[in-house]
Amino acid sequence: MMASAVTEKKKKRMRGKKPWQKRNILQSEVKDGVRITEYNSISLREIKKPSTHIYPGRKVIDPKLLQKYSKGEGVEVKSIGYKNKYLAHKLKEKEKAFQEAEAAAARAEILLTETSGQLLAEDDSYTSHITQRDIRDAVDITSAAKSFDLNLNQFGPYKMRFTRNGRHLVLGGRKGHLAAMDWVTKKLHCEINVMESLHDVCWLHTETMMAAAQKQWVYIYDNQGIELHCLKRMDRVLKLEFLPYHFLLCAANETGYLTWLDITLGKEVIRFPTLKGRLEIVCQNPYNAVLCCGHSNGTVSMWTPNSREPVASILCHPHPIKAIDIDPTGRYMATAGLDRVLKIWDARNLGECLQSYSVGSGASSVKFSQKGLLALAMGNVVEVYRNVTNGGASEPYMRHKSGSTIRDMQFCPYEDILGISTYHGYSSLIIPGAGEPNFDALEANPYISLSARKESEVKALLSKVPAELITLDPHSISQVDTPRLQEKLDAKISLLHIRKPKIDFTPRYRMKGKSGSAQKFKRKQKVKEDKQREFLQAAILQRDQFMEEDKKNKKEKSKPVEILDRFKPKKKS
């Protein structure tokens, strides 16, 4: 009976406890009529069962990969925790999200199955000695078909441009020949003659629309060669650039004017003279959508639609600039001058020349590939270099001699192809290791279908970036304008503590007994009261205006925001 009573008490005592609060009995024995029980001191939470899974844990991420996707050092939360625990907790959660994003990006690289190729030479030989015929004989039939020549002797010299996904090509001859094609399948979209000189061509946001800078104005055509628009505000244009995330068509003309046109609304954003002379050497920085212009005095100036003055200007060469280009990451800028020198600059830290190379003759065109290769066009010869940013470009990676002078060139996105347009046609060259092997289908898809293209066009329009956000430093738009904010706060605070101004008034002397002491005092008092009344009325009116503005802002914030509200005209402040 006694033993059963003890057992019942023990059961009642353990009934209210949680499983991890119950001790584990190791052994129990009876000595001299007394039961001695040994318990395990380790709780159930601390006991871990050995994993029986084939892969017991996730693979450890390579520290180099983590460094590659790192977003920099985090915020020190310890110093903030003493003052504001809520803010410290919020920052901890944010830092944790950043670390998870870095780890996810590093792990996602495992899924990138494609690797970029390269050209390897045998002993005692150079890769620059390998010709295009040798490459065509060595590669598969699909890759060999991507190398071809177009003989167009009548309407040159030609300008060319690939689409963002690298699938379509447009050619524009100086004598009016305009042609668009799918260069992979060799399917011709359209071929027309505009019957006047043609200075530059450019694709818009899709392969169904293209812009052509003709003798007098800029024209928009579809992929069937039908004229859609005539932009008479863009006259005598020499260079065209399209900003895909802002839907802005940029033009530079021979009188030194820069123009930005919003193609979604058909409105001109801004147009102003640069006062730098003829603008023929222009490229865009894909990192911040800033236009970079090369000038005859050896300087490179950077322009945005928000300023009539250059946001940055740097003296690159003592002689005129012949070519300029910025790599797809926006980190490096290459300039070539008439002094036969190629310079590599840090595009984010202007004023610092990273590398300088002496070339045999002045380069007429400079282009970066997606993987960092740099192509130089010198007369009828094109040379491709590797490792130009770190000083390792002592010998050309590849070299090709064309039949005529090279007018324009561009690396095809997501392909190991360099397209060159000459005075007598077009050539497609195979450059192993030039293109990015893994593409983001949501960004640019070479195999996109018709329905997917329509959907991506709508999404791009909804996520359109306003032209007002184009700055030299894209991160500055997320910062607070501290001086202006402080001025507004000071103005509101000063209105709450209004003091009457001190007025020192000396009345003029009057004849016929009107300048007595009593008369003077009355006149003084009246003028003071009038001035103070005017001041107070103006201050009260200003305070009421501030109050009304605050009420309006609160009402606007309380209104539900719709997706299409971004297309409404903004109120000018």
Per-position pLDDT tens, the chain of length 573: 445 555 565 555 555 554 444 445 445 565 555 555 555 544 444 444 555 555 566 777 888 888 888 877 777 776 666 667 788 888 888 888 888 888 888 888 877 777 778 888 887 788 889 999 999 999 999 999 999 999 999 998 999 999 999 999 999 999 999 999 999 999 999 999 999 999 999 999 999 999 999 999 999 999 999 999 999 999 999 999 999 999 999 999 999 999 999 999 999 999 999 999 999 999 999 999 999 999 999 999 999 999 999 999 999 999 999 999 999 999 999 999 999 999 999 998 887 889 999 988 889 999 999 999 999 999 999 999 998 988 878 889 999 999 899 999 999 999 999 999 999 999 999 999 998 988 888 889 999 999 999 999 999 999 999 999 999 988 887 776 666 666 776 776 666 666 666 677 677 767 666 666 777 777 777 888 888 788 878 877 877 787 787 777 776 666 666 666 766 776 655
Can you give the pLDDT at residue 365? 94
Q: Smallest Cα–Cα separation from 344: which of 368, 364, 320, 370?
A: 368
286 and 302 Cβ atoms separated by less than 8 Å: no
Question: Alpha helix (H) ranges present in 150-235?
Answer: none
Query: What gap in Å lies between CA 90 and CA 107, rounded to an integer?
Result: 26
Structure token digits, residue 476: 């500055």
Q: Name residues whose C-beta falls within 8 Å of residue 85's C-beta, 6 or more positions apart in sequence.
A: none
308 and 320 Cβ atoms separated by less than 8 Å: no
Q: Name residues whose C-beta falls within 8 Å of residue 186's C-beta, 6 or more positions apart in sequence.
A: 148
Q: Smallest Cα–Cα separation from 173: which of 197, 208, 150?
A: 197
Annotated domain spans of the chain: 63-111, 152-273, 480-553
Q: What is the DSSP string of 203-222?
A: E-SSTTEEEEEESSEEEEEE
Q: Letter for the amino acid at 373?
A: L
Threshold 0.85, pTM exceeds:
no
Count CB atoms within 10 A of the CB of residue 205: 21
Q: Name residues whose C-beta falls within 8 Å of residue 361's C-beta, 6 or more positions apart in sequence.
A: 340, 378, 379
Can you give the pLDDT at residue 41? 47
Query: What gap in Å lies between CA 285 and CA 243, rounded to an integer?
Result: 9
Could you confirm whether domain 152-273 is CATH 2.130.10.10? yes
Q: What is the DSSP string of 452-476?
A: HHHHHHHHHHHTPPPGGG--SSGGG
Can you give the pLDDT at residue 541? 82
Q: How many angstroms from the chain centroid is the CA of residue 168? A: 23
